[in-house]
Amino acid sequence: MNKQAKLTGWLLLFPALFILGLVFIYPIARAFWLSFFAENLGTQLQPVFTGLSNYQRMIGDGRFWQSLFNTSVFTVISVILELLLGLGVALVLNKSFFGRGIVRTIAIIPWALPTAVMGLAWAWIFNDQYGVVNDILNRLGLINTGINWLGTPSLAMTALIVADVWKTTPFISIILLAGLQSISEDLYEAHKMDGASPWQSFHQITLPLLMPQILIALLFRFAQSFGIFDLVQVMTEGGPAGSTETVSIYIYSTVMRYLDFGYGAALVVVTFLLLILAVAITALLLKKVRA
């Protein structure tokens, strides 16, 4: 490729890179700069440079560590369940059967719904007075009184995970389905002629060839789950007693409720660095798989 072609390529990329810088790089750089200042509109209007004091404060902030733990639990459990269920759904949708197109369309409806609307629906479903879940359990004779799903710490996190898994499993299944359709049927036929069982074909052909799509799905879902906000805000608002408060909810409260912009910026920077670390690890694994 000559220099003129390279220059033309960069000129064509410049508008996209410029917009990316405006909507992504500048806010992160601004948050990084603000994290070195103390600025709280409730106590002081002018920012004061305080160095690493916001980060030192974070070390002893039990609420931050609790929100980070809640976020980690939510992310790990929901992503694992979504991967397993999404793989199962993708395997089913990859088969030939009557009405497969309609089933595929219906399967992606949960993912297409707005998260806030879906979260409100799940809040009604888990309501302790008129929720569908309690009604079903009561009809089955498993409970006598309604369970306060969203008012009990352990059960509230369970309800959030169920809602998120129902919402985003179709997203993973679409990615994995695309990977499955790229695998030639001749490989399975040859493996079957060698006497391999369906499980052996799945373990020795499907999983290795599907691993790049699995890692891509994990990358997207980890980033989305770690930054979850709207679902938690609609269903529990971080309660009860902070048991479902995620890092995003804590940042929102710090900035919008307490008007502590300096400390909120430090929380944003740390969260961003954690996500970058996770992305780097996933990209490294993806590179090894493709090698």
pLDDT per residue over 25-64, tens digit each? 888 888 899 889 887 776 666 778 888 899 999 999 899 9
Q: How confident is the model at residue 71 (pLDDT cuts 50, 70, 90)?
A: very high
CB neighbours of residue 187 within 10 Å:
14
The rounded distance, in Å, linking the Cα atoms of 44 and 83 is 47
Q: Which residues are within 8 A (CB) of 252 and not within 5 positions of it... i.e. 6 or more apart?
A: 229, 233
Q: Which residue has the tokens 């307490």?
A: 258
Topology of the domain comprising 61-290: MetI-like fold (1.10.3720)
pLDDT per residue over 190-200, tens digit each? 877 877 777 88
- Residue 260, beta-bridge partner list: 40
The backbone torsions φ and ψ at residue 49, rounded to the nearest 5 degrees and listed phi first, read -70, 125
Which pair of tokens denotes residue 48? Answer: 């004061």
Which pair of tokens denotes residue 126? Answer: 């888990």
Report the pLDDT averaged over residues 262-286: 84
The amino acid present at 125, given as its one-letter code, is I
pLDDT per residue over 210-263, tens digit each? 888 888 888 888 888 888 898 999 999 888 888 899 999 999 999 888 888 889
Per-residue buried b or exposed e for 99-118, using 16+ beta carbons within 10 Å of the residue's own CB: eeeeebeebeebbeeebeeb
Which pair of tokens denotes residue 242? Answer: 């902070």
The distance from CA 262 to its chain's CA centroid, rounded to whole angstroms, is 26
The answer to whether the CB of 245 falls within 8 A of the CB of 66 is: yes
The amino acid present at 184, given as its one-letter code, is S
Give the largest CA-CA distance in the chain: 77
- Return left, alpha or beta for 238; rule: phi > 0 is left, psi -120 to 50 is alpha, else beta: left
User: In percent, how much of the chain has pLDDT > 70?
Assistant: 97
Cis peptide before 240 (omega within 30 of 0): yes
* Structural domain spans, the chain: 61-290
Mean residue pLDDT across the chain:
85
CA dihedral (141, 147, 149, 153) positive or negative: negative
CA–CA–CA angle 174, 176, 182 (5° rounding): 110
Model-level pTM?
0.87
Q: Which residue has the tokens 């509109």?
A: 41
Report the pLDDT averaged over residues 157-174: 92
Beta strands 44-49 and 37-40, pairing class: antiparallel
Half-sphere exposure in the Cβ direction for 272 (13 Å, CA):
15
How high is the pLDDT of residue 199? 82
